Amino acid sequence: VKSLEYLKQLGVNVFLNTRVREYDGSLITLEDGSSFRTDTVIWTAGVKGAPLEGLPADSIVGGNRIAINEYNQVAGTTNIFAIGDVATHITEENPKGLPMLAPVAQQQGRHLAKNLKRVMKGRSMLPFEYLDKGVMATIGRRKAVVDLKVWKFQGTFAWLVWMFVHIMSLVGFRNKIVAFLDWMVNYFTYDRPLGLIIRPYKRSENGSESL
């Protein structure tokens, strides 16, 4: 709800609960029959996996993702593993698999490394369990939302938390410092606002709109 409010403040028209039916080069038509004109379309609907040839055909499921079990083994194999966005562990609890998010890939990576070490020592593998620490998203300058299991918050504090968590997730001290300085320069120079590619329209007295 807060994200939607922020986007509206930034001048974005959001169409919810409808899909794009077609685009003919100038007119976008939605499933509900409504349409609007635009010469620019940035298509971000969905990410598709690029699995390798040679995997069992029935291990490739929706979105070209590779079906895996709780040990990250590719369905129908015991010595091939898949983790991250390209892999999906479908269970009753998660019929669509886990979300394609960085923490899922990171946790699976660490877990698989531990399991491979266990196998080398002749021990059995342990099943993977995803620890959902919550989600956060940044929308613009000092605008972010953080949704933890026990606490939801937004605004400047959420934006600072978002930056801190993302900087701390970068590998290596140098990368952390470079990203931090880069973001600070962008913030103070307005060169390229953090994650923001749009600005609200300013309406002049004669009613014309400009960025």
Ligand X SMILES: Cc1cc2nc3c(=O)[nH]c(=O)nc-3n(C[C@H](O)[C@H](O)[C@H](O)COP(=O)(O)OP(=O)(O)OC[C@H]3O[C@@H](n4cnc5c(N)ncnc54)[C@H](O)[C@@H]3O)c2cc1C
Pairing of strands 202-203, 209-210: antiparallel
Residue 100 interacting with ligand X (CB under 6 A): yes
Residue with tokens 């913030």: 187
By beta-carbon proximity to ligand X, the closer residue of 29 and 63 is 63
By beta-carbon proximity to ligand X, the closer residue of 42 and 211 is 42
One residue of 63, 103, 155, 195 binding ligand X per CB under 6 A: 103
Give the gyration radius of the chain's Cα atoms.
Answer: 22
Question: Least separation, in Å, of the C-beta of 101 and ligand X?
Answer: 4
From the list 9-17, 95-103, 140-148, 175-183, the region that binds ligand X by CB under 6 A is 95-103
Least Cα distance to 125 among 79, 166, 171 occurs for 79
Residue 105 interacting with ligand X (CB under 6 A): yes
By beta-carbon proximity to ligand X, the closer residue of 142 and 166 is 166
By beta-carbon proximity to ligand X, the closer residue of 22 and 109 is 109
Helix-helix angle 173-189:156-169, to 10 degrees: 150
Question: Least separation, in Å, of the C-beta of 179 and ligand X?
Answer: 14
The secondary element (H helix, E strand) that includes residue 144 is strand 143-147
Query: Distance between CA 66 and CA 75 in Å, rounded?
Result: 8
Q: How many residues bind ligand X (CB under 6 A)?
A: 8
Residue 140 interacting with ligand X (CB under 6 A): no
One residue of 85, 88, 97, 128 binding ligand X per CB under 6 A: 85
3-state secondary structure of 113: helix
Going residue by residue from 48 to 67, which x/- string records binding to ligand X, judged by CB under 6 A?
A: --x-----------------
Least Cα distance to 195 among 136, 141, 145 occurs for 141
Residue 20 interacting with ligand X (CB under 6 A): no
Query: Distance between CA 104 and CA 97 in Å, rounded?
Result: 11
By beta-carbon proximity to ligand X, the closer residue of 101 and 167 is 101
- The number of angstroms, rounded, from the C-alpha of 54 to the middle of its chain's C-alpha atoms is 29
Least Cα distance to 74 among 100, 94, 48, 54 occurs for 54
By beta-carbon proximity to ligand X, the closer residue of 60 and 105 is 105
Residues engaged in binding ligand X (CB under 6 A): 50, 84-85, 100-103, 105
